[in-house]
Amino acid sequence: MISANILALNEQEHLPGLLELIRPHVGEIVVWVDDRTTDASEEIAREYADVVHVGALNKDFAQARNWCLDHSRGEWVLTLDPDERPMPELLRWLPTVQAVDAVLTLHENRIDGKPVEGHFLEWHCRFFRKQYRWFRPLHEMVALGEARVMCAPTHLRILHYKSQERQEMQNRRYEEWTR
């Protein structure tokens, strides 16, 4: 079984689309809603997800992602952000993965429809066996150690599209956290 893990902070605009897209492809959905959320993210998560937790992020994405892992029942975990959209073909391909512990997926990053210079295409580990853990509070990564890792076919991507306004807000928040 695949468990989807998602963190949300004021994501009412993006969360329903992601949850509707992934629901047919995963066995469960686990959502951490940041307790600073002021919109309907929690209510939306409760409508679609199997497990919802509202808690303080405490400037530590890895800690929140690891909480989601600890509360997931699937052998495999697919971690997504609310403003990301895995291609349907990728969602159909993931359950066929065997003989590895983790899959790197290509992320296509766009702001206001334009490729992000220097970061348009990036590889990220977002699909892995539940035994692995996240580390680093900001720009978190999965500690794979000796894991057997493969890359997804390059035409199967996770699309990450956002507005310039959203990117600037995120940059300000991250800058504040690192002071």
- Assess whether pLDDT exceeds 80 at residue 78: yes
Distance in angstroms (rounded) separating the CA atoms of residues 165 and 75: 37
Residue 129 has what pLDDT? 97
| pLDDT at 114 > cutoff 90 | no
Question: What is the pLDDT averaged over residues 7-19?
Answer: 96
User: What CATH number is given to the structural domain containing 75?
Assistant: 3.90.550.10
Is a pLDDT exceeding 80 seen at residue 83? yes
pLDDT at 45 over 90: yes
Q: With 80 as the cut, is the pLDDT of residue 135 above it? A: yes
Give the domain range for residue 65.
2-177
Split at pLDDT 50, 70, 90, the class of 15 is: very high
pLDDT value at residue 52: 98
Report whether 72 contacts 134 (CB < 8 A).
no
Number of residues that make up the chain: 179
What tens digit of pLDDT does each residue of 159-171 get? Answer: 998 888 888 888 7
One-letter-per-residue 3-state SS of the chain:
CEEEEEEECCCCCCHHHHHHHHHHHCCEEEEEEECCCCCCHHHHHHHHCCEEEEECCCCCHHHHHHHHHHCCCCCEEEEECCCEEECHHHHHHHHHCCCCCEEEEEEEEEECCEECCCCCEEEEEEEEECCCEEECCCCCEEECCCCCEEECCCCCEEEEEECHHHHHHHHHHHHHHCC
Query: If you average pLDDT over residues 86-93, what whole number do you get?
Result: 97
Q: How many domains does the chain have?
A: 1
The span from the CA of 54 to the CA of 10, in Å, is 12
Higher per-residue pLDDT: 30 or 160:
30
pTM of the model as a whole: 0.93
